[in-house]
Amino acid sequence: MKWIDLRSDTVTLPTPRMRDAMANAELGDDVYGEDPTVNRLQRMAAEQLGKEDALFVPSGTMGNLISVLAHCGRGDEVIMGDCAHTFLYEAGGISALGGVHPYLIPNNPDGTLSIQDIQNAVRKDDIHFPKSKLLILENTHNRCGGVSLSREYMLEAANAAHQSGLSVHLDGARIFNAAVDQGVSTVELTDMVDSVTFCLSKGLCAPVGSVLCGSKAFIHEALRIRKQLGGGMRQAGVLAAAGIVALEEMVDRLAEDHQRAQLLAEALSSIPGVALDKGSPNTNMVYIKLDSASSITAKACSENLKKQGVLAGITGPYHFRMVCHYWITDEDIGKVHSAFEKALNLPQ
């Protein structure tokens, strides 16, 4: 059975061009800084995100963690949204490994944080308080429905943080989706932040890796922390080669995933008992909720879908997230529609 896997864009497999590039990559020891393919990827990433330098890291989680460890010391505080990926899904790494304290403020449904809340969260100089050091923003915002945040908002939030003496890190795991969604250059969404992580292994289809970008001095510090965390990867050019193809060939086509998310949202919302959730669709994501009166839970529905070759991510008792990506076709959208009708025991 060919699976239609909508659980995440992290499930994407490398394209044939990537596999070719990986097989033929020129390699060296990247811990010595001698892997030409990694060096090329890092230069490309820094340029595309408008930063001085960049560092290839194994995952988005490690990119965000390294960034927090580079910006903050033990006992310092990071301000972020209560729906931030770094808070919800990174195993508490900033606290466990960095002794860094999170200060949460509520995310608005559109993924933003109120500027007033950011300003109020900054601690006064008082021996009772941790020191506020960093603001983390996320674009696109995963738990807020995959919504993309505008340059105007990013500037306003970053200015508020900078005026209070804080640095700003952007979890830009899907920053290219945000740029494509708004028809702006990626730099327009990153030039106001001090550091940014983006992922190669989500919608861009590379098998492994993320890139952390920032100033030369910041990346120098990040390099030492990556080593401390065991993230120095030797002949990593074999992975970076796929990342280069991702940046060269896979960015503009993200628009197709966004169009398919629209189609999927239209198809699913036409089914009785299914409603769109979290302002869906946004970029490549569709969140839905089942009518709780329909007496089928997301878990039971997902089992029925699985029998038909469809995998959807469960996000609550009656809630799903579905993410469109390179390996999802227009034809698959029709199949997902019928699979849902069948899974909900509706006449087709």
Instruction: Give me 163's structure tokens.
Output: 């005026």
CB of 61 to ligand TLP, least distance (A): 3
Chain-centre distance of CA 184, in angstroms? 18
Residue 59 in the binding site for ligand TLP (CB under 6 A):
yes
Among the listed residues 85, 133, 258, 325, the single contact to ligand TLP using CB under 6 A: 85
Whole-angstrom Cα distance, residue 201 to residue 296? 33
Q: Does 171 bind ligand TLP (CB under 6 A)?
A: yes
Give the integer Cα–Cα distance in Å for 116 and 181.
27
Q: Interface residues for ligand TLP in 208-237 (CB under 6 A)?
A: 210
Rank residues 265 and 344 by Cβ distance to ligand TLP and give the closer one.
Answer: 265
Please identify, among the stretches 56-64, 227-235, 239-247, 252-260, the one whose residues bind ligand TLP according to the rule CB under 6 A: 56-64
134 CB-near residues (< 8 Å, 6+ apart): 68, 71, 72, 76, 77, 78, 79, 166, 167, 168, 169
Whether 134 and 168 have beta carbons less than 8 Å apart is answered as yes
Instruction: Give the nearest distance from C-beta 327 to ligand TLP in angstroms.
Output: 15
| Minimum distance of ligand TLP from residue 295's CB (angstroms) | 28
Q: Does 284 bind ligand TLP (CB under 6 A)?
A: no
Q: Which is nearer to ligand TLP, 61 or 341 (CB)?
A: 61
Complex with ligand TLP: residue 285 or 336, whichever CB lies closer: 285
User: Structure tokens of 274?
Assistant: 């299914």
H-type alpha helices, 50-138: 60-71, 85-88, 93-98, 115-121
- Given a contact cutoff of 8 angstroms between Cβ atoms, the answer to whether 255 and 266 are in contact is no
76 in contact with ligand TLP (CB under 6 A): no
Q: Which is nearer to ligand TLP, 10 or 297 (CB)?
A: 10
Residue 302 touches ligand TLP, criterion: CB under 6 A: no
Residue of closest CB approach to ligand TLP: 60
Tokens of 250: 């896979």
Least distance CB 175 / ligand TLP (angstroms): 10
> Does residue 199 belong to the site contacting ligand TLP (CB under 6 A)?
yes
Backbone angles phi, psi at 169, to 5 degrees: -110, 140
Site for ligand TLP in 2-41 (CB under 6 A): 8, 10
Q: Which residue has the tokens 């050019």?
A: 237
Nearest approach in angstroms of CB 171 to ligand TLP is 5
42: Cβ contacts below 8 Å, ≥ 6 apart? 53, 54, 55, 56, 211, 240
196 binds ligand TLP (CB under 6 A): no
For the bound state, the minimum distance from the C-beta of residue 283 to ligand TLP, rounded and expressed in Å, comes to 12
Asked if 89 is part of the footprint of ligand TLP (rule: CB under 6 A), the reply reads yes
Q: Where are the beta strands (DSSP E) in the chain?
A: 4-5, 53-57, 76-81, 101-105, 131-138, 167-171, 195-199, 210-214, 274-282, 285-290, 310-311, 313-316, 319-323
Options 66, 105, 154, 173; binder of ligand TLP; rule CB under 6 A: 173
Crossing angle, helix 254-269 and helix 330-343, to 10 degrees? 30
Residue ranges binding ligand TLP (CB under 6 A) = 8, 10, 59-61, 85, 89, 138, 142, 171, 173, 199, 210
